[in-house]
Homo-oligomer: A and B are copies of this chain.
Amino acid sequence: VNLEEIARLSGVSRSTVSRVINNRPGVNPKTRERVFEVINRLDYHPSAAARRLAGGHANILGLVIPMGVPRLFTDPFFPLLIQGVSQACSAHDHSVMLWVAEPEYERRTIRQVLQNKMIDGVIVASAILDDPLLEAMIEGSLPFVLVGRHPAAPQVNYVDVDNFTSSREIVTYLLRLGYRRVATITGPQNMIAGLDRLEGYRSALHQWGIPVNPDLILSGDFMEEGGYTAMQRLIPRHPQAIFCASDAMAVGALRALREASLRVPEDVAVTSFDDLPFSAHAEPPLTTVRQPIQRMGATAVETLMDIIAHPDSPPRSVILPTEIIIRASCCPAGQTGKEAMPGTEKITTNV
């Protein structure tokens, strides 16, 4: 079943069928209706290959996850993102081409993506500063959207949450509970989210006139293992409360605290960032910043489709809201957790 056949059966030319399919103006409504009827009856779908070759859109978006092996399966961030992207594409009758860019093959992947004449645009889920892939994308002419803000290039379209403000607010929450010796386990400082979350921590302390103590800032890697080892080094420094820059690190931190026989939240209060599905089942359940990962994926798709449709409009940036999810890993300073804490509760922020 091809366009030719639809034209024949509707009694019009191929040009007209093409106009109908692509929703172009200037077609008699009755003609349009007749053509649609035939299309639906035959369950006709245009060939992406032919479309693309003829200079049109293939309705295929690329998704690039430039990530070394570890984090891809340490936590469900990327699976959720992939799902959001995939769902939104499906809903808009687009397909998605996926690249998982291992660092050692990065150059090759860049070529594969940019020289791939099949895709209409790309979603890049990289938050690594100075990612060569990102630089290549900026140089190139393929429309793309970044998941995560870009610190330097203002022309880059992106979808993100406000990592800075969200982090400042959850640290402020700890300060309000009465803690003063608040530590942080940071994300990698070559990722924008890692930087912003640390800045949010610093900003909250500044606002409350509390000096930032370098001994209470430990660097992590967003993963369980990194949270675990950072916490081990932190324990001798006797923090009252901690802000981990990711849930996965918080789980590692909880493990280190348990091994040291410290109770959470009675001895140390713990907060983090992400609200991944496992965070509600941690021991204790985590108080954390929820970011809408799936929605970020879906929003990236919609933003990219809009960019493709309107290539000359100014750069787009979308900031999605977060909320603070309050669970049992915190309690007011000086109290025991059990008596003081409510069930899960939400504080919506950055709306």
**A residues neighboring B (CB under 8 Å):** 43, 45, 47-50, 52-53, 58, 60, 63, 69, 72-74, 76, 78-80, 82-83, 86-87, 90, 93, 95-100, 102, 105, 108-109, 111-112, 115-118, 224-225, 255, 258, 276-278, 281, 283
Task: Say whether A97 contacts B97, CB under 8 Å.
Answer: yes
Contacts of A90 in B (CB 8 A): 99-100, 105, 108-109, 112
Give A96's nearest chain B residue, CB to CB. Answer: B98
- The reply to whether A83 and B69 form a contact with Cβ atoms under 8 Å apart is yes
Which chain B residues lie closer than 8 Å to A49 at the CB level?
A: 48-50, 52-53, 58, 117-118
**Of B60, B95, B96, B255, the contact of A281 (CB 8 Å cutoff):** B255
Tell me the smallest distance from the CB of A346 to a CB of chain B, in Å: 20
CB distance from A250 to the nearest CB of B (A): 14
In this complex, the member of A49, A52, A90, A116 whose beta carbon has the largest number of chain B beta carbons within 10 angstroms is: A49
Distance (Å) between the CB of A327 and the closest chain B CB? 16
Q: What residues of chain B lie closer than 8 Å to A86, measured between beta carbons?
A: 98-100
- Cβ–Cβ contact A87 & B72, under 8 A: no
List 19 interface pairs A-B (beta carbons < 8 Å), by A numbering. A47-B117, A50-B53, A60-B97, A69-B83, A73-B80, A73-B83, A82-B100, A83-B100, A87-B102, A90-B108, A90-B109, A90-B112, A96-B97, A96-B98, A96-B99, A97-B98, A225-B281, A255-B283, A258-B283
